[in-house]
Amino acid sequence: MNLERLVRRQALSHPVRALLTVGAVAVAMFLLCFLRSIVTSLDAAVKESSGRRIITASAVSLFQALPASYSAAIAEVDGVATVSRFTWFGGVYKDPENFFAQFGTDPQLLLDQYPEIELPAEHKQAWFDDKRGAIVGIGIAEKYGWSVGDTVPLLGTIFPRAGGEPWEFTVRGVYRSTRANVDEMTMYFHWTLLDEALESGESMGPRGTSVYLIRLDDGWEGEEVAQAIDDYYAGGPQRTRTQPEAAFQADFVNMMGNLPTFLGMIGAAVLVAILFGVVNTMTIAARERLRSMGILKAMGFSDRVPIRLYLMESTMLVLIGGGLGIGLAWLTQPGLRAMFGTFIPVYQVAGETYLAATVACVGIGLLAGLIPALRAARLRPVEALRRGA
């Protein structure tokens, strides 16, 4: 007696019902993968961060610039190899909806400190040589159709130009990133260009630097260097908080508040909904099959056969649906990445999500098959034959 074949036959005895169940599971599993991926993608930037870089920012406010004079003092601290400056520019490209990050920074230091940024050698030199030059991530270059040599106008919001006209940057390079902690949706330009414009009055806005990025000397631990910097500025003029790159990135995720919890709760509701759906299908199926189960038992099959039949059928239904949903999650990655844009620049479905979703499918399948299976096992053949219509 071939059990697998019987399972297949039974599952397909009502093709519409099987289809509806598979569809419902597929849709819900896709949603589950999607929700989980938002959380893991946000975390990915944190996990991939380098332990050899620490970041000094204001301890008072995310929006408070540090004095430019700090960079010389930080460079003197033992364990500091290089210090680069990053200023959040906050410019608007044509429309405020076109949001992407722009930083004024020290070009050579940036590329030294971030081997993750891949830029062709000729682009590097061209950027170093052009004071108005900028490099952009492949993501925004594709989104806005920029290529090397193009001029990008950005209207200053924190740093408006005195005449009200936009800033103009020339694209000198397009970079790619090799790790998730560096996104491909950012624009970098010369920090000195901004500082000189503020000095001369061509631009308004706060002087200074949003953060200092420090690469550690070999043999030094981030914690002691960070402590030394923060102690030095404990009495002001601006208190600093220095932390590893990972912790700095994690702060941003935490600021989203209880987003992971919130999405987790919805995910749980989805799981319960899938379970209900499959239990429903299996209950209906079991009701209709009372008589055939009775026949099986009357023929002398043990209790284990109906149990296995139901467990296999429900697991099969869930796995097919789940497989479709998981496949959909895999297929939609590029589209969703484009949709999220700068919000989650590295959206992707992690390997552990595929695994967790598959495990969830098997679990739901077994659980949903259990109720009719146990009922069928307890069934007395005569009764089943009489009751089943």
Partner 1 sequence: MARRLVPFSYPLRSLAVRWQASLLSALGIAMSIAVLCGVFALRSGFQALHAETGAKDVVVYMRKGATSEGESGIPLDRVNTYRVMPEVARDEQGQPLAAGESYLALFLAKADDLGLVNVPIRGVEPASLKIHGKAFRIVEGRALAFGSDEIVVGRPISRRIHNCQLGDTLLVNVTPFKVVGIFDHDGAYQSEIWGDVDRIAAALDRPMRQRVVARMAPGVDVAAHIARIADDKRIPSKAMTERDYFIAQMGFLGDVLVILGNLLGGILGIAAMLGAANTMLAAVGSRTREVGVLRSVGFGQTAILLAFLTEAAVIGLAGGLIGCLMVLPLDGIETGTMNWKTFTETAFAFRVDAPLLLTAIGVSVALGLVAGLVPAWRAAWLRPVEAMRRG
Site for partner 1 in 285-344 (CB under 8 A): 287-288
**Alpha-carbon span 65 to 209, nearest angstrom:** 5
Q: Does 201 bind partner 1 (CB under 8 A)?
A: no
Look at the block and give the residue holding tokens 């000094």: 56
Q: Which of 8, 43, 52, 59 binds partner 1 (CB under 8 A)?
A: 59
Nearer to partner 1 by Cβ, of 216 and 282: the residue is 282
Contacts of 21 (CB under 8 A, 6+ apart): 277, 278, 281, 317, 321
- Nearest of 104, 55, 95, 374 to residue 245 by alpha carbon: 55
Q: Which of 98, 283, 332, 342 binds partner 1 (CB under 8 A)?
A: 283
Distance of CA 251 to the CA centre of its chain: 15
Q: Does 367 bind partner 1 (CB under 8 A)?
A: no
Contacts of 63 (CB under 8 A, 6+ apart): none
Shortest reach from residue 281's CB to partner 1, in Å = 6
**Alpha-carbon span 208 to 195, nearest angstrom:** 8
Site for partner 1 in 10-39 (CB under 8 A): 14, 16-17, 20-21, 23-25, 27-28, 30-31
The pair of three-digit structure tokens given for residue 108, joined into one six-digit string:
């050579």
Nearer to partner 1 by Cβ, of 160 and 215: the residue is 160
Q: Hey, is 118 helix, strand or coil?
A: strand
Query: Using CB under 8 A as the criterion, what x/- string covers residues 210-249 for binding partner 1?
Result: -------------------------xxxxx-x--------
Q: Which of 12, 162, 272, 355 binds partner 1 (CB under 8 A)?
A: 272
Q: Does 73 bind partner 1 (CB under 8 A)?
A: no
Point out which span in 257-265, 309-317, 350-358, 378-386 binds partner 1 (CB under 8 A). 257-265
Please tell me what DSSP assigns to residue 61.
Answer: -
Spell out the alpha helix ranges (H) of the chain: 3-12, 15-47, 70-76, 107-113, 121-129, 138-144, 191-200, 222-232, 245-255, 259-288, 290-298, 304-331, 333-340, 351-378, 381-387
Q: Which of 149, 164, 219, 351 binds partner 1 (CB under 8 A)?
A: 164
Contact residues: partner 1, CB under 8 A: 14, 16-17, 20-21, 23-25, 27-28, 30-31, 58-64, 90, 92, 96, 155-158, 160, 164, 204-206, 235-239, 241, 251, 254-259, 266, 269-270, 272-274, 276-277, 279-281, 283-284, 287-288, 389
